[in-house]
Structure 1
Amino acid sequence: MKKLTVLLLCALLVLTSCAPSLDDEDEVLQNEEDTEVETSIVPGSRLGEEAYRMILPYRTSEARGIITNQVANRVDIDEMEEGLRRHSVDVFDPEDYYFQEGRYLDESTVISWIDELNPDRPENLTDWDKETNENNPRIFSHILEQNYLLRSGEEDDNTVQVAGISIGIALKSVYRYQLEQGGDYFYYDVSMNEMLAKGYEIAETVVERLRESEDVPDVPILISLYREEAQNSPVPGNYVTKTLVPSGDNTIGNWEDIDEEYILFPSNKARSEYITDYENFNNFGNKIAEFFPNYVGAIGSGFYVDGELQRLTIEVPIEFYGKAEVIGFTQYAYDRVQDIFPNYYDLEINVTSSNNVESLIYRNAKEEQPTIHIYH
């Protein structure tokens, strides 16, 4: 218990020392076409080297919320946004740029483009059989826009304006359809090549239309294609390719492949492609099962880039009957983390009961000691 108390106190000191200082906040002026100049606040601190400062008051997207009607899987929705911001770091340096949700593509525009750029569906579903459906799959799901702002280059000028745009295009890996209203669902697996061909076509059209719009500034546009996972998948899909369209250009040049994926633990794919990580995960579960009879198994998600594990997130569900049991379990899991998992990737373990998250163990890459938090 003394060891745990010391760890919690150390974690509190670290968090206190890293907390953003309100004294470092800065005022900027947002200058947009056909609008009044608006005074905003920029926090002085960032949450990490790859985190963007966000201008306050926070302004939501003009297409806010419609992604939930277009992308079926919650984990895909989260990863599409986070992944696009992660890839934007390579183009729009967080040291200089500020983040803002998309302001140019509103709800009606996004919906109309999705309808227009997908194959038409008959009003009567029975007019299409399986072959016709699978020859005309609706692959294109959503367009996500993010804006990146810079200060004016003039000295002592606090005006900021959009200096970069990132666009994520969501595309299905599985097309679900019906042959009659209320009938059974059928599923068509969309190949990578078929998905990419559709994605390239859509990307060209999106760039052309953005460049034609008088409301959209002539800035670099990052376009990334996102491949969704199946609707019931516990892990998200991933971005598969990206391209940067420089300011002044209205056509796309070369695409750059993205080698990243999320892997479910335990799974056959994890065992066949990442055997060491798979064995470490199983070893962790086996050690816990030896001492805690209420343990029923863990589930994990590993994020890989270029075949290397970057982040492993594990959920450990267990039924507890008292806070002391939570503390004892967390202490034991803490020790097993140090014994089993190497520290070259980020690790997060959430210990949960039927209704709550009971405790958290996390360790950033290259750190020696994990940090513990017990929820009360």
Structure 2
Amino acid sequence: MRKIIALTLSTLLLLSACAPKFEKQQEIVNESEDTTEQAIIPKYQISDQFYRTVLTEDNQIKPSESRGLVVSGLNTRYDIDEVERGLMRIAQDTFSPDEYFFQEGQYLDRQTVQSWLNRKLTPEQLQEKLNEDQNFVDLGLNPSIDKTADATLTDLNQESPIYLAHILEHNYLVEKDEQTVELGGIVIGLALNSVHYFKQEQGYDREVSIDRSVLEKEGKKIAEEVVRRVKLIDGLGNIPIVVALFEQQSKSSIVPGNFFTQGNVKADSSSIDKWSDINEQYYLFPSDEAENEHREDVVTFNRLKDSIAQFFPNYTGIIGKGFYKDDTLQQMTVEIPMQFYGKSEVIGFTQYVTNEALEIFPNYISFQMYISSVRGQESIVIREAGEEEPFVHIFQ
């Protein structure tokens, strides 16, 4: 039976110079459990690209049981952020933000996720564990590695790298009636390693690159097992699931990885119905990769770079990050470090680059520009796709 959460409806009060407040209504009895749980859903939605998040009755986000594990599993802050954002983008294809509400994953707790991220034990290792604890269950989803074998540790790691780096769960709730919501779907992201890091016998750091085709094959096998296990959890047997594979970048990368395929599981099934490719990728500007793959966009980016260099002698260079979907540039994020000698220079420079960006980037591309100095962030400029006027803020 679906887990039902009693919902207290709330109204967003927009008051000048005041934070939003939510009015609570009556408590609704949970139909599937002895206890009730109140929730608040903000009436205001930032945009149709974001879900409204279900809050607890004291206006707090109910954290995931595995909260914080993503930091140890992923290599960079870029990947940590993109796994969250990308998984929400994928969810929108199945669970519309107009009908569903977001909540952090509540079913895969820390201990469960950690046990699934382990290597599977060899028969000898498993027997040793069972001798210590007869109730031990081997739940590791990464390939086993026998450290007692004649092969070197380097050879073993090259043959059996760790594929699965992290498991991220998102829950999507839907209204059951006017005052109750229930779990309507689950989206699970499996972050996979494009590079496996390990130490040699001598203690030196080593790394093994993993080919995308191998990663996809192994990732899909892991995904099937994850789905099977999730469907066995009480209350999830009849819940639709979307599972997506994310390829994280190396530790030295300054652009995030990307989701590259997703599988859908019907409510009454315990296996993935079909896989669909996801064509998303980030490119660094300037870079040889961007030059080879998206020459025209590099020319556009260089127009902004050259324009800044021509008129501002304190210019030190800019770095761009382009997000592509179906091989088309969707968003350009630009970081501009400058040397300023006063706030008037900051204002003047921000006005100049805003005008240049509006002239250079087509209206169908959203852009974000972050202007900074040795003192920190100086200003930001944001123009959403399809909008005529940008948002500009000068930090005081």
2:284 is equivalent to residue 284 of structure 1: no
Q: 1:71: which partner in 2?
A: 74
Q: 1:39: which partner in 2?
A: 38
2:61 is equivalent to residue 58 of structure 1: yes
Displacement of 1:121:
4.1
Q: Which stretch has the larger CA shift, 78-87 or 114-123?
A: 114-123
2:146 is equivalent to residue 147 of structure 1: no
- For residues 97 and 84 of structure 1, the distance between their equivalents in structure 2, rounded to whole angstroms, comes to 15
Q: 2:7: which partner in 1?
A: none
Q: Helix, strand or coil: the match of 2:274?
A: coil
Displacement of 1:122:
5.2
Q: Which stretch has the larger CA shift, 235-244 or 285-294?
A: 285-294
Letter in 1 for 2:104: E
2:368 is equivalent to residue 344 of structure 1: no
Contact 2:190 2:244 in 1 (8 A): yes
2:301 is equivalent to residue 301 of structure 1: no
TM-score by length of 2: 0.84
Q: 1:311: which partner in 2?
A: 331
Q: How does 1:1-376 map to 2 (within 5 A)?
A: 22=21, 31=30, 36-56=35-55, 57-115=60-118, 116-121=140-145, 128-153=152-177, 156=178, 158-180=179-201, 182-183=203-204, 185-216=205-236, 218-376=238-396
Q: How many residue pairs align between the two structures?
A: 357
- For residues 353 and 256 of structure 1, the distance between their equivalents in structure 2, rounded to whole angstroms, comes to 44
Contact 2:75 2:249 in 1 (8 A): no
Compared with structure 1, are the counterparts of its residues 368 and 245 closer, same or farther at alpha carbon in structure 2 (3 Å cutoff)? same
Q: Deviations over 1:82-115 (max 9, x none)?
A: 1001110010111111100000000010010111
- For residues 327 and 184 of structure 2, the distance between their equivalents in structure 1, rounded to whole angstroms, comes to 33
Q: Deviations over 1:175-218 (max 9, x none)?
A: 112212632x2221111110011111111101111111224352
Gap regions ≥5 residues in structure 1: 1-14
Compared with structure 1, are the counterparts of its residues 68 and 126 closer, same or farther at alpha carbon in structure 2 (3 Å cutoff)? farther
Q: 1:12: which partner in 2?
A: none
Letter in 2 for 1:59: K
Q: Helix, strand or coil: the match of 1:216?
A: coil
Letter in 2 for 1:134: Q
- For residues 25 and 281 of structure 2, the distance between their equivalents in structure 1, rounded to whole angstroms, comes to 38
Letter in 2 for 1:312: M
Provide the alpha-carbon RMSD of the alignment: 2.4
TM-score by length of 1: 0.89
- For residues 30 and 288 of structure 1, the distance between their equivalents in structure 2, rounded to whole angstroms, comes to 62
- For residues 311 and 162 of structure 2, the distance between their equivalents in structure 1, rounded to whole angstroms, comes to 50
Instruction: Give me the identity figure in percent.
Output: 39
Letter in 1 for 2:110: E
Letter in 1 for 2:198: Y
Bigger helix fraction: 1
- For residues 339 and 125 of structure 1, the distance between their equivalents in structure 2, rounded to whole angstroms, comes to 63
